[in-house]
Amino acid sequence: MYAGIDIGGTTVGVAILGESDEVLFYEKIDTDRSYDPEKIELDICRAVERGLFVLGRDKIESIGIGVPGIVSKNRDRVIACTNLDWKDIAFGRILAEKFGSNVSLYNDASSAGYGEFKLGAMKHSPNSVLMTLGTGLGGGIIRDSHIYEGANGAASELGHMTVGDNFYTCGCGRVGCLETFASGTALVKYTNKVFMEQNQSFRVGSAREVFDLCTQGDEIGVQAVDRFTRYLAIGIVNVIATIDPEKIVLGGGLSLSGDIYLEKLKEYVMEWRYFKEIPPPVIELSRLGEKAGVLGAALLGRDAISS
Ligand SMILES: [Zn+2]
C-alpha cells in the first residue's frame, strides 16, 4: 500500500492506494490555520493512522506529498511555498519515522498532472498538460510520460506567464499574469469592477455566481466569462507554442462549469494557434477532479521506490 497527500491552503487530501492503484481510503482534513509545518505533518500522521486502522493494516511502503510550491531535488525540503508562507523547510521526516516509509515531495499541480496521466483524462497522452483553474491557475506538464519540472523545479507555473496589462497585481507581485485574467479570483474581481464602473451596487462573491449570471444572460456576466475564456485561450495558445502537447486538460473547481465556456474556448484556440497544418491538441475536462493531486502524489511516491 502507498499513500498520497495533497497539501492545500484550506484542506489536505489524504489517500491510501492498493497495489492495483485502487483507492482504499480517502479523507480530507482542514489545513492547520497557523500553517505550522510540524502541526500539519502531525495532522497528516493521524489521518494516515486512521486509514491504516480502518483497513486493518500497519505498513505503508511510500508516501508522496504534493505541496503548492517548489521542492528540493532530493524531495525532502520545500524550497518556497507562497500560499503557506514556507521557505526552505524540511518536511516528511515525522511521517518517514512514524511509518517507516519512503517519503518524497512534489509540486501539487505536477502531481495532479501525473494523476490525470496515469488514471484520468490524460491517460495514453505522454505529452500533455493539465491546467488547474481554481483561486489561481496551476499547471502540470507531462513530457514523455514523466512530470516536467525544469532546471530548478519551477517549470509549469502556467498561471504566471505574462499575457497583458491588468488592473490589479498578481499574488506574485507582478502585473499581467495569466491567473489574474483566467481564474476564480480574476472572474470575481473583473465582474465587480464592471459593476462598480456602472454604479451598480450588486457584487459577486464567487466564480460560480459569475457563471450563473452568464447562463442567465446577464450582460456583465456574459462579458466577464468571455474575457476569462479569451485569456484562457491565449494561455493555451502560448502553451501549444512552447510544448506542442497532444492533449490539454482543464481541472480545478472552475472546470466543473466547463460546459459554459469549453466550446467557445476551443473556437478561440483553433483561430489563434500557429501551425494549422498540424492537429490541434484535444482540450477536455478533468476526470479525477479534486482527487487528481492526491492520486498523482501517491503514484509518484510509489514510482520513487520502484525506480
Ligand atoms: Zn503572478
Tell me how far the alpha carbon of residue 18 lies from the centroid of ligand 1, in angstroms.
Answer: 38
Q: Which helix (H) or strand (E) holds 103?
A: strand 102-107
**pLDDT: which is higher, 181 or 276:** 181
pLDDT value for 58: 85
Q: Report the separation in Å between the CA atom of 159 and the middle of ligand 1, taken as the mean of its atom positions.
A: 6
H-helix or E-strand spanning residue 77: strand 77-81
Q: Which domain holds residue 164?
A: 125-286
Higher-scoring residue by pLDDT: 154, 24:
24
In this structure, are 240 and 165 located in the same domain? yes
Q: Is the pLDDT of residue 183 over 80?
A: yes
Same domain, 79 and 228: no
Question: Is the model's pLDDT at 199 over the cut of 80?
Answer: yes
Residue 78 lies in a domain: yes
pLDDT per residue as tens digits for the range 203-212: 999 999 999 9
Report the pLDDT averaged over residues 153-164. Answer: 93
Q: Does residue 29 sit in the same domain as residue 61?
A: yes
Question: Using an 8 Å Cβ cutoff, are 89 and 37 in contact?
Answer: yes
Ligand 1 center from residue 206 Cα (angstroms)? 20
Percent of the residues in the chain that have a pLDDT greater than 90, as a whole number: 93
CATH number at residue 301: 3.30.420.40
> Strand ranges (DSSP E) for the chain?
2-7, 11-17, 23-30, 62-67, 70-71, 77-81, 86-90, 102-107, 128-133, 137-143, 146-147, 247-251, 282-285
Q: Are 192 and 206 in contact (CB under 8 A)?
A: no
* Rounded distance from Cα 235 to ligand 1 centre (Å): 13
**Is residue 307 scored above 90 in pLDDT?**
no
**What was the pLDDT predicted at 200?**
95
CA of 295 to the centre of ligand 1 (A): 27
Q: Is residue 118 part of a domain?
A: no
What is the number of structural domains in the chain?
2
Q: Are 196 and 108 within one domain?
A: no
CA of 20 to the centre of ligand 1 (A): 39
CA of 162 to the centre of ligand 1 (A): 8
Measured in Å, residue 261 CA sits from the centre of ligand 1 at: 23
Contact by Cβ (8 Å): 258, 250: yes
Q: Do 302 and 263 share a structural domain?
A: no
Q: How far is the CA of 164 from the centre of ligand 1 (A)?
A: 12
> Are 170 and 97 part of one and the same domain?
no
In a domain, 32, yes or no: yes
Same domain (yes/no): 96, 174 = no
Residue 82 has pLDDT above 90, yes or no: no
Does the residue 120 lie in any domain? no
Closest by alpha carbon to 254, among 185, 202, 204? 185
Whether residue 259 lies inside any domain: the answer is: yes
Contact assessment for residue 214 and residue 222, using Cβ atoms and an 8 Å cutoff: yes
Judgement on whether residues 82 and 190 belong to the same structural domain of the protein: no
Contacts of 30 (CB under 8 A, 6+ apart): 10, 11, 12
In a domain, 119, yes or no: no
Same domain, 231 and 155: yes
The angle formed by the CA atoms of residues 69, 71 and 75, to the nearest 5 degrees, is 145
Cell for 171?
Answer: 499574488
pLDDT surpassing 90 at residue 233: yes
- Check pLDDT > 80 for residue 55: yes
Look-up of cell digits 499574469: 177
* Same structural domain, 102 and 135: no
Q: What digits encode the pLDDT tens for the residues 262-290?
A: 999 999 999 999 999 999 999 999 999 99
Question: Is 300 domain-assigned?
Answer: yes
Distance 26 CA to ligand 1 centre (A): 32
Mean predicted confidence (pLDDT) in 167-174:
94
For 35, residues 6+ apart whose C-beta sits below 8 A from its C-beta are 84, 85, 86
Answer yes or no: do 236 and 271 share one domain. yes
User: How far is ligand 1, taken at its centre, from the CA of residue 83, in Å?
Assistant: 12
Mean pLDDT is lowest, of 82-86, 103-107, 302-306, for 82-86
Are both 258 and 165 inside the same structural domain? yes
| Residue 37's pLDDT band (cuts 50, 70, 90) | very high
Residue 12 placed within a domain: yes
